[in-house]
Amino acid sequence: MFKLTPSQCTECQICAQVCAYEHFAQNNPKRSCVTLEAKWPEAPSIRVCLACPQRDCLQACPTDALRWDGWVRLEKESCIGCGSCVEACPVLGISMDPLTHLPLVCDTCQGGFLCARWCPTRAIEKIGHSEESL
């Protein structure tokens, strides 16, 4: 999935802008699956789904709206917006969309990894999948 190096992040928000534009055709970082939290003078925290092996978010979903398909896929029609997946995520990589009130969970841009491709400092990098995660 991703290798995150917060010390290289300049908080330019390009990752969040690209994500929001890809998924919602909006330049609105609040609708991004990538969230940056400033901790100046320390490095910011970069929050995004890392497709962790335990996938607590899938297990926490009461309607099975989240599925594993090489990435976490949200079935919007099944989601009730309860936020259980947000609470279950051990890396704080899921947030709620402020407009739809549905979870924002990284789908890797269907394997395009646009946030990593556009990150000018390589604070977010794509790494290969292990066989376990496929």
CA distance 13 to 123: 11
The burial of 90, by beta-carbon neighbours within 10 Å (0-12 exposed, 13-18 middle, 19 or more buried), is given as exposed
CATH number where 77 lies = 3.30.70.20
Domain range enclosing 91: 2-133
Q: What is the pLDDT of residues 79-128, one digit of tens each?
A: 999 999 999 999 999 999 999 999 999 999 988 999 999 999 999 999 87
Q: Report the number of distinct structural domains present in the chain.
A: 1
Give the pTM: 0.87
Q: What is the pLDDT of residues 14-26, one digit of tens each?
A: 999 999 999 999 9
Look at residues 77, 27, 74, 28 and name the one whose alpha carbon lies nearest to residue 49: 74
Segment 5-16 mean pLDDT? 95
